[in-house]
A and B are shown apart, each in its own frame.
Chain A
Amino acid sequence: QSVLTQTPSASGAPGQRVTITCSGGSSNIRTNSVYWYQHVPGAAPKLLIYDTDQRPSGVPDRFSGSKSGTSASLAISGLRSEDEAHYYCAVWDNKLSVLFGGGTKLTVL
């Protein structure tokens, strides 16, 4: 059971906007940057968002991150079939250990 809670599944039709949330606590999300990863089964996980709301070069601006208090969100707009994957939030805890959320499986209808 992860300290970071994510809704197990989410879905949306092509072109729609989907938001995936990650709930944590005062010792992790509230005080540290949040990172988001996309994981397609069989492939290596890919960093989508760093420092809560920054995109690495090459990541489309359809992906955006934010946080408020002890929760963080990943929004995906203009949903495409290739966005179907598992999405994980990650954060430092107060012992500088890395925590991953339980993951959200995104289905593109």
Chain B
Amino acid sequence: QVRLVESGGDLVKPGGSLRLSCEVSGFTFSDYYMSWIRQAPGKGLEWVAYIGPTGSTINTADSLKGRFSISRDNAKNFLFLQINSLRAEDTAVYYCARHDFWTGSSPYLDFWGQGALVTVSS
């Protein structure tokens, strides 16, 4: 069955960096667009970025460009999110999610992980 498991969440000081990982199984990872979505405490879902099947297509939320970088390793079935210059407002649960095969990068997110908590605090 399809599984997405995030890891790498941690307590980080402001200004620090962090790389989140999402290990997937149960499907052909290299066929799918993948996204990161986050949810800050008491807030709603916020899309962060998506990456195409080969990694050549990347789209990042305008408000997060410059500090957030999405990447993937199709050989090892991993999705990554690099976050630099972390701020308190980056504190959130970060989810990885799979896009529907047929609609590519559309908001059709058919499988989600359970999330990884990132806390930014001194």
Residues of B in contact (CB 8 Å), total 23
The one of B45, B47, B100, B113 in contact with A39, judged by C-beta atoms closer than 8 angstroms, is B45
* Segment 12-39 of B: residues with Cβ below 8 Å from A: 35, 37
Chain A positions within 8 Å of B95 at CB level: 44-45
* Residue among A33, A97, A103 having the largest count of chain B Cβ atoms under 10 Å: A97
* Chain A interface residue bracket vs B: 20 to 34
Interface 0/1 of B99-122, CB less than 8 Å to A: 010000111111011110000000
Chain B positions within 8 Å of A96 at CB level: 59, 105
Q: Are B110 and A47 in contact (CB under 8 A)?
A: yes
User: Shortest beta-carbon distance, B5 to chain A, in Å?
Assistant: 11
Q: Are A44 and B106 in contact (CB under 8 A)?
A: no
Chain B positions within 8 Å of A33 at CB level: 106-107
Residue on A with the closest CB to B111? A44
User: Shortest beta-carbon distance, A36 to chain B, in Å?
Assistant: 10
Decide yes or no: A47 and B109 within 8 Å by CB, A97-B59, A97-B61, A98-B50 being known contacts. Answer: yes
Q: Are B47 and A98 in contact (CB under 8 A)?
A: yes
Q: Are B108 and A45 in contact (CB under 8 A)?
A: no
A-to-B contact residues, CB < 8 Å: 2, 33, 35, 37, 39, 43-47, 50-51, 56, 86, 88, 90-92, 95-103
Write 26 A-B pairs (CB below 8 A) sorted by A numbering: A33-B106, A35-B106, A35-B107, A35-B108, A44-B95, A44-B115, A45-B95, A45-B97, A47-B108, A47-B109, A50-B100, A56-B110, A86-B44, A88-B44, A91-B107, A92-B106, A95-B59, A96-B59, A97-B62, A98-B47, A98-B105, A98-B107, A99-B47, A100-B46, A102-B44, A103-B44
- Nearest 7 CB-CB pairs, A to B? A103-B44, A44-B112, A98-B47, A90-B107, A100-B45, A35-B107, A98-B107
B-to-A contact residues, CB < 8 Å: 35, 37, 44-47, 50, 59, 61-62, 95, 97, 100, 105-110, 112-115
**Given pairs A91-B107, A97-B61, 5 additional interface contacts (CB within 8 A):** A39-B45, A45-B95, A47-B108, A50-B100, A98-B35
